[in-house]
Amino acid sequence: MKDLLSLRTLSNEEIMNILNEALEFKKGKEFSLKNKIIANLFFESSTRTQYSFNVAQEKLDMKVINFNPTVSSLNKGESFYDTVKTFESFGIDAVVIRHSKDRYYDDLKRLKCPIINGGDGKGDHPTQSLLDLMTIYEEFKHFEGLKICIVGDIKHSRVAHTNFEIMNRLKMECYTSGPIEYKEDGYNYIDFNTCISEMDIIMLLRVQNERHSEDEKLRMSNDEYLERYGLTMEKVKKMKPNSIIMHPAPFNRGVEISDDVVECEKSRIFTQINNGVYVRMSVIKRSLTE
Ligand code: CP
């Protein structure tokens, strides 16, 4: 029974095992976890992560509980720990948790049921990073030497934090770009408009407005953001022939990505979303069977 809290504690071999299993699931492999019960405890909003976990759980024949924090006893002052402990006491087999607090799982060390991290604050988003890696591996069949630029609000993005570290470990050449205010110390930063033609992968991020303090807010119109840091068809035309565009979504059309780029031939955004189901099947199987 294994947690998945961060990819930092996984070896490259363990990451590849999860990806290879996910690729098998995508090809149609079946596996049943009938009679296992899993609870999705999303204390922060989600569409893709929560509902692709649901689809993955359905494909694995699991029994699924979806917690709704807005009508729960959190409203009566019950703590985060006691809420999760309550679900463990029901006898469920695993929990998927998303929470706005970085490393929320440090508060849950006394729990015994496996925790799968669906995103913690600005910290980590391990299943997002795995589905990103799956999408890149499907496309290029390797990682080493690929050039990626992650563009946008790097500082407040758990996707950027997990990806930058793991992709570097897999020997990809990783760069970041976007508003200088949101640059992360220690990450390679380059000018977006001059790097476009050199990248194999351009990964766009949304500005994480909900994580900004008042003095971190960007005073810039959507048009100006698109012009300076967004991807338009004019810029797509400068990209390398086999290069691809990624975005963890949700995306803001007309801000970091123009409307016509979202579903253009180079975009793999909806492939990423589809791969999320198979990666999450693989991660749940690992947590409940290994
Ligand atoms: N990419 C992602 O985590 O999307 P959601 O916030 O909709 O889950």
pLDDT band for 1, please (50, 70, 90 cuts): low
For residue 128, report the distance from its CA to the centre of ligand 1, in Å: 8
The torsion angles phi and psi of 50, rounded to 5 degrees, stand at -60, -50
Per-residue pLDDT of 244-258, as tens digits, reads: 999 999 999 999 999
For residue 64, report the distance from its CA to the centre of ligand 1, in Å: 19
Per-residue pLDDT of 208-224, as tens digits, reads: 777 777 777 777 899 99
Per-residue pLDDT of 165-206, as tens digits, reads: 999 999 999 999 999 999 999 999 999 988 899 999 999 999
Ligand 1 and 248: CB distance under 6 A? yes
Q: For residue 13, with 0-12 CB atoms within 10 Å meaning exposed, 13-18 middle and 19 or more buried, which class applies?
A: exposed
pTM, rounded to two decimals: 0.95
For residue 126, report the distance from its CA to the centre of ligand 1, in Å: 12
Whose Cα sits closest to atom 3 in ligand 1?
49
Per-residue pLDDT of 93-136, as tens digits, reads: 999 999 999 999 999 999 999 999 999 998 999 999 999 999 99
pLDDT at 194: 86
Ligand 1 and 47: CB distance under 6 A? yes
pLDDT at residue 145 greater than cutoff 80: yes
Whose Cα sits closest to atom 4 in ligand 1?
48
- At 97 the three-state DSSP class reads strand
Give the mean pLDDT of the chain. 95
